[in-house]
Amino acid sequence: MSRQTRALWMLSGLLGVVFLLPGVLAPWLAPYDPLGVDLLHELELPSLAHPLGLDANGADILSRLIHGARISLLVGFSSVAASAVIGVTLGLLAGFYGGWVDQLLMRLVDIFLAFPGLLLAIALVAVLGPGLSNVVLALALLGWTGFARLVRAQVLAAMGREYVLAARALGAGPVRLMARHLLPNVAAPLLVQSSFAVAGAILAEASLSFLGLGAPPGTPSWGAMLSEGKEVLWEAPHVSLAPGLAIMGVVLGFNTLGDLLADWLDPQRRHS
Amino acid sequence: MTYLLHRVLWTLPVVWGVVTLVFLLVHLVPGDPAQIMLGENALPGDVSALRSRLELDRPLAEQYGLFLGRVLRGDVGRSFISQRPVAQEIAARLPATAELMVGAMAVALALAFPLGVTAALYHGRWPDRLASLFALLGVAMPSFWLGPMLILLFAIRLDWLPVNERGGLDNLVLPAVTLGTALAALLSRMIHASLLEVMGEDYIRTARAKGLGERAVVWGHAMGNALIPVVTVAGLQIGVLLSGAIITESIFDWPGLGTLLLDAINTRDYPVVQGCVLTISITYILVNLATDLLYGWLDPRIRLHR
């Protein structure tokens, strides 16, 4: 096993153990109720019973952090899945048909890209109302352009290749060509892009929740926990510390996973 | 000249698309926007008066035409809360946001240059690793965590810097560092990669063969070309700073466009939301256009290739 393959497996395992597993098993793993209220012990410092301390409502921060992983996981993966479906479909159509279809779709991409950063997601959640399903919808509409551009470029490059010409000569129709021949060809870069997109979506969800536009009040989302922590920064900085490190760790993890995947899936880069 | 004209004309359909999407925003509101703005207990008469004031009682096509006409005249309606023209509200907040962005860009460049250049010159050694670590962490670190941590350290524990008021240069430091750090991380990586690439070119080898010292090679020959892609990225990132400013302003209660937008969202003041979104995205488009034109001017090959 090469060094890169080993690093890839180690990082995937690490992300699985510290993020995916707690996210999926949150109800069984969390030692306390994440919504619990205990005003007698509010803002208590870390102790053996509560390793990360208690927040302003007296809820156990570790339990909230574990349940927060579930929200990040859910929003991160579902919004990226939705953006990928939209982006891949439109990118395939643009690259395959070219001409006015391509022109129209790429101008649409340009329009969506004219809203910098989170602005479009903020605007959409502002009118649709806060809530996690609206956040997923907004992030899906924010993220599809990256997938569309990537797939279009890959398809354009593949259109003149022998295997596509051969499939055409054998009578493959447009749907079969796109689904059976072109799509598998873009799978590798798509996987890399998805890893970066999950990191971006988790950060975006946390940002929206921090601004009060994501998870409903009280929900243990990491961004909302940071927003609550900001209010008690003076007397209880421990409330802000853990959620911030969690966001940073997961975003760093998925970004690095994307880098490693890109190297691993590209034979030229693997051997360089 | 053709390139310039072509690039400017290319921008028009995008601006039109953005204006259309911003117009449609209000129509995405689930239910009656006027009812939602006034609340559940509003009198029916008040709701219909507001609907008429917002032109929501007219056919969609007519509303769209009126909206386009007003945007062309620089008028995006009146605030539902303050009753002042939205353009005036925005103009009052723009200087604070501009100040924050200039500060953030200055912080980003001040951090990115030494880090990127050192990393490239000491490629593969510990200064390079340290700079790479900063770049990795800087990109992954949420500004809404960095900001409170900076407040905790420099305002609460050490009591070195003030917080929560716009005023002198010292008030700008913490918000500017909060907003500029992620950009610094990105730019340092760009400078590093770009300088490494240029240092491998033939003309650098020639300069070295002529007997030039390393300092003259780096600053006299390599840096100019290495900076071209960095200028583009920095330009494109101005828009990202503009949207990042929304979060930074909310952390520091900075009285800029971001807090205006967030307050408007909370009070369901849709004309102000539309105005802010439109201002931020049009600024972004114009900055991108300017960056592209600057890029073409800096590197004549770009003009010929397009």
Q: What is the pLDDT of residues A73-91, one digit of tens each?
A: 999 999 999 999 999 999 9
Residue A202 falls inside a structural domain = yes
Contacts of A128 in chain B (CB under 8 A): 28-30
Q: Are residues B93 and B63 in the same domain?
A: no
Q: Residue A136's pLDDT is what?
A: 95
> Which tens digit of pLDDT belongs to each residue from B81-121?
888 999 999 999 999 999 999 999 999 999 998 899 888 88
Q: Scan for tokens 């690793």, then name that residue.
A: B129
Residue A102 falls inside a structural domain = yes
Q: Residue A21's pLDDT is what?
A: 85
Inter-chain touch A122–B281, beta carbons under 8 Å? no
Number of domains in chain B: 2
- Phi and psi at B29, nearest 5°, equal -60, 125
Q: Are residues B9 and B150 in the same domain?
A: no
Contacts of B132 in chain A (CB under 8 A): none
Whether residue B22 contacts residue B64, with contact meaning beta carbons closer than 8 Å, is answered with no
DSSP B164: S
Q: Residue B306's pLDDT is what?
A: 46
Structure tokens at B261: 């937008």
Higher pLDDT, A199 or B80: A199
Q: Are residues B102 and B41 in the same domain?
A: no
Supply the mean pLDDT for chain A. 88
Contacts of B250 in chain A (CB under 8 A): 210-211
Q: Are residues B170 and B293 in the same domain?
A: yes
Q: Residue A267's pLDDT is what?
A: 62
Inter-chain touch B281–A114, beta carbons under 8 Å? yes
Q: Report long-range pairs for A90-93 (Cβ below 8 Å, ≥24 apart).
A: A90/A144, A90/A148, A91/A147, A91/A148, A91/A149, A91/A150, A91/A151, A91/A152, A91/A154, A91/A155, A92/A151, A92/A152, A92/A155, A92/A178, A92/A182, A92/A183
Inter-chain touch B139–A244, beta carbons under 8 Å? no
Q: Residue A246's pLDDT is what?
A: 92
Residue B150 falls inside a structural domain = yes
Q: Are residues B207 and B58 in the same domain?
A: no
Whether residue A208 contacts residue A214, with contact meaning beta carbons closer than 8 Å, is answered with yes
**How far is A85 from A92, CA to CA, in rounded Å?**
11
Residue A225 falls inside a structural domain = yes
Mean per-residue pLDDT, A40-69: 89
Residue A137 falls inside a structural domain = yes
Residue B172 falls inside a structural domain = yes
**How far is A134 from B173, CA to CA, in rounded Å?**
35
What is the extent of the structural domain holding A24? 3-29+54-270
Q: Are residues B55 and B96 in the same domain?
A: no
A residues 189-218 closer than 8 Å to B (CB): 199, 203, 206-207, 210-213
Q: Residue A109's pLDDT is what?
A: 93
Q: Which residues contact A261 (CB under 8 A, 6 or more apart)?
A: A8, A191, A192, A195
Q: Are residues B32 and B92 in the same domain?
A: no
A126 Cβ under 8 Å from any chain B Cβ:
yes
SS3 B113: helix
Residue B81 falls inside a structural domain = no
What is the extent of the structural domain holding B7? 2-72
End residue of a domain, out of B72, B100, B120: B72
**How far is B298 from B225, CA to CA, in rounded Å?**
9
- Residues of chain B falling short of pLDDT 70: 1, 164, 299-306
Q: Distance, in angstroms, between B241 CA and closest chain A CA? A: 8
Residue A272 above 60 pLDDT? no
Q: Are residues B57 and B125 in the same domain?
A: no
Q: Residue B41's pLDDT is what?
A: 83
Inter-chain touch A122–B152, beta carbons under 8 Å? no
Dihedral through CA B150, CA B151, CA B152, CA B157, nearest 10? Answer: 100
Q: Residue A269's pLDDT is what?
A: 59
Q: Are residues B196 and B49 in the same domain?
A: no
Q: Are residues B136 and B251 in the same domain?
A: yes
Residue B261 falls inside a structural domain = yes
The percentage of residues in chain A with a pLDDT greater than 90, rounded to a whole number, is 46
| CATH classification of the domain holding A105 | 1.10.3720.10
Number of domains in chain A: 1
End residue of a domain, out of B72, B99, B134: B72
Inter-chain touch B243–A244, beta carbons under 8 Å? no
- Phi and psi at B254, nearest 5°, equal -80, 125
Between the alpha carbon of residue B20 and those of residues B73, B240, B282, the distances in Å are 16, 22, 12
Q: Are residues B108 and B51 in the same domain?
A: no
Q: Are residues B136 and B274 in the same domain?
A: yes
Q: Residue B302's pLDDT is what?
A: 59
Contacts of B266 in chain A (CB under 8 A): 212
Q: Residue B205's pLDDT is what?
A: 86
